[in-house]
């Protein structure tokens, strides 16, 4: 007896939504790097979504989007995150916006925690400029998680803040100065 094909009965981890063919556009960073992204991924950014809508409303061909406040390295990270989440329901991120506790999915946890803290700050700042709620939420939660349970000295080290005696006197006096 021939072995059965197992494709029909294999459980799927999630049911992907039927979606239109990918519409790829070029995205240019502030330092001139040109990347490519699926428009559905870019729609996670309210800022870019508004720009894309503007092109579509006027029936203008969208060849290249310019992101003037994000450098190439960070923009690549942003696009990688958006690509992973392009099928997400935007209502989920909005619902989590003001929650004190949110769950970071394992892919995002791995993606965000592997970044050096400075790159993570850049990524969150980029998400803020591009208005990507989900990425802001997960990024901020990741920073908060890394700060919990730390001493003052450990936090200074984590965030790259100099010791009080090394800090400029105008902005860094500590509570016990």
Partner 1 sequence: MSSIIEMPELVLETIIGFLNFQAVYTLRQVCKDFRSFIDDLKKSKLPDSKFKKIHIFLKNEETIRLTFIWSFGSEIEIERYFEKEKPGFFDLISQGMCLKYFENNKNCSEKEDLEFYISSPDFELSHLTSTHFEERESLSTAWGAPFECQYSRFWFFQMKNSKILKITYQCVVFKVQIWFTCIEIGNVPQGAIIQD
Burial 83-121 (b: 16+ CB within 10 A, else e): eebbeeeeeebeebeeeeeeebeeebeebbeeeeeeebb
95 lines the binding site for partner 1 (CB under 8 A): no
124 lines the binding site for partner 1 (CB under 8 A): yes
* Segment near partner 1 (CB under 8 A); pick from 3-11, 52-60, 86-94, 98-106: 98-106
Picking from 142, 37, 124, 125, the residue whose alpha carbon sits closest to that of residue 86 is: 37
143 lines the binding site for partner 1 (CB under 8 A): yes
CA distance to 59, 108, 121, 160, 169, per residue, from 74 (Å): 30, 16, 10, 19, 32
User: Binding-site residue total for partner 1 (CB under 8 A)?
Assistant: 40
Nearer to partner 1, 21 or 149 (CB): 149
Q: Residue with structure tokens 């993570």?
A: 120
Q: Which member of 4, 9, 10, 148 binds partner 1 (CB under 8 A)?
A: 148
- Is the CB of residue 87 less than 8 Å from the CB of residue 16? yes
Q: Which member of 4, 8, 152, 165 binds partner 1 (CB under 8 A)?
A: 152
118 lines the binding site for partner 1 (CB under 8 A): yes
Which residues of this chain interact with partner 1, rule CB under 8 A? 98-102, 117-119, 121-122, 124-125, 128, 136-137, 140-141, 143-145, 147-152, 155-156, 159-161, 164, 167, 171-177
């Amino acid at each position: 007896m021939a072995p059965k094909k197992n494709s029909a009965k294999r459980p799927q981890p999630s049911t992907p939504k039927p979606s239109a063919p990918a519409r790829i556009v070029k995205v240019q960073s502030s330092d001139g790097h040109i990347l490519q992204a699926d428009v559905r991924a870019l729609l996670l950014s309210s800022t870019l979504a508004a720009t894309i809508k503007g092109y579509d409303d006027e029936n203008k061909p969208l060849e290249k989007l310019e992101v003037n406040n994000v450098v190439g390295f960070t923009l690549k990270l942003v696009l990688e995150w958006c690509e992973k989440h392009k099928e997400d329901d935007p209502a989920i991120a909005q619902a989590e916006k003001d929650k004190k506790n949110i769950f970071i999915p394992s892919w995002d946890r791995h993606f965000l925690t592997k970044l050096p803290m400075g790159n993570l700050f850049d990524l969150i700042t980029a998400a803020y400029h591009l208005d990507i709620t989900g990425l802001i939420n997960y990024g901020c939660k990741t920073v908060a998680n890394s700060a919990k349970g730390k001493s003052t000295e450990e936090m200074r080290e984590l965030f790259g803040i100099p010791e009080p005696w090394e800090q400029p006197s105008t902005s860094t006096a500590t509570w016990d100065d």
